Structure 1
């Protein structure tokens, strides 16, 4: 399994968190892998074999080869049908709204082909260029040319959304919405409306996803010895609150998550 991350061009650094590549040779013993919410939207290109995306314990769809994975409010399982060869762009929560005009709440909890988000001709050209590229450096050059061009058609990002996301990222999602808004209830409805359009999910859901990422980092890298210590460091009210949020988003308790064979891929992103 070969997983790598690459920093974006400085002109995209406030929008693109990083690029990542993953190569995994086929193994008939492969198990389903759980994908968990992380507060980010990703554009992915699959150059390997098809990948199943399970919609229930037994039912599945095949993921598009060139797609955008919207915000996730719950975890789901995938299973490659052969070799994995993937290139992806991981956008900050506020990042992808700069490139499309449609409300991002339409993309939540699903994978949307890029042909449905961009003009058909430009989407087809982009996918073909990515397929024909022979290495990650070429693919990065292609995608950055595409993104910088789209950025010139820039959509306006609401300041209230941007400032809220900035606070979440700075504090690992631990600050309550009312505190960010300084208890100005009149702004709450406005924030919710803009969040649905430009992020895809509510402020509360994004805060929970960002906090979960920081918690997983502590859990998987054993930076805290007990669940109580992790709950305290992540500023949960208590251990029960921590376990409830964890299970709501991942579907497992923290103890069930550790050393679970279905979590190998998710755990890889924190090592």
Structure 2
């Protein structure tokens, strides 16, 4: 299995975290995989065989070839139907909204076909990405599209951007009721604009970022005990940490190293 991340150009670093590629044969990747929330939205292009996505009732559906996956607020289970080939664009929490025709809250926990998010141009972009033969070609195509679209779109909400940066820089420890905001904006207005732009509310993103920080330390073995890990990441105690962990992953921390979390480990290793 091959997993590789690529940095975006300087012009797009304000809205993107990275591009990534994942490839593997059906022998290498043949298990159901569990993905946990990380605060980001992804634009996914399946140039390999399609993937199944499991619904909360246990049934499964076929994912679109090209789609945007909204903010996760719970675990996501997917399963390959054959050989894997994925190219993806990982947006910063507030990064997709300037180019989207939908409010981010509308596709929370959902895979939405690209044309519904980007309009008719989404179909053309998807075809070009799927027809490309190398990662470099795909990056060139998506960068051309994003640069042109981002330049002609509305400027990202600076107040929301400031709130996101505060939450991330504090690793989710910033108390939401003490979040600094401009005097000209009410807290209710900030909450509404934040949810529309990011796809989750302030408290949800804060919890997700705090958990992500803890999970990153788990994967890289930067802790001795769960109690230490909980305190180091601002949890009241180990019980509160385990409660949040189970809420967002569906399992306890000790189950997190099962093989069906290998995708999450790849995505989280670099923080």
**Cα distance in structure 2, aligned partners of 1:124 and 1:262:** 32
Q: Is the 8 A contact 2:31 2:260 kept in 1?
A: yes
1:93-172 alignment, distance < 5 Å? 93-120=93-120, 122-172=121-171
Q: Is the 8 A contact 1:97 1:155 kept in 2?
A: no
1:48 aligns with 2:53: no
| Cα distance, 1:160 vs structure 2 | 2.4
TM-score by length of 1: 0.94
- Distance verdict in 2 for CA 1:129–1:235, change over 3 Å: same
Corresponding residue of 1:14:
14
| Cα distance, 1:219 vs structure 2 | 0.6
**Cα distance in structure 1, aligned partners of 2:73 and 2:136:** 32
| Cα distance, 1:191 vs structure 2 | 1.6
TM-score by length of 2: 0.94
Corresponding residue of 1:233:
232
Moved over 4 A (4+): none
SS at match of 1:117: helix
SS at match of 1:87: strand
More deviation in 123-132 or 154-163? 154-163
**Cα distance in structure 1, aligned partners of 2:268 and 2:72:** 18
Q: Is the 8 A contact 1:195 1:202 kept in 2?
A: yes
| Offset from partner CA, 1:50-73 (integer Å, 9 cap, x none) | 100000363011111100000011
Aligned residues: 268
Structure 2 gaps of 5+ residues are none
Corresponding residue of 1:62:
62
Q: 1:268 aligns with which of 241, 248, 266?
A: 266
- Distance verdict in 2 for CA 1:119–1:37, change over 3 Å: same
| Offset from partner CA, 1:220-240 (integer Å, 9 cap, x none) | 111111101111111111111
**Cα distance in structure 2, aligned partners of 1:126 and 1:140:** 12
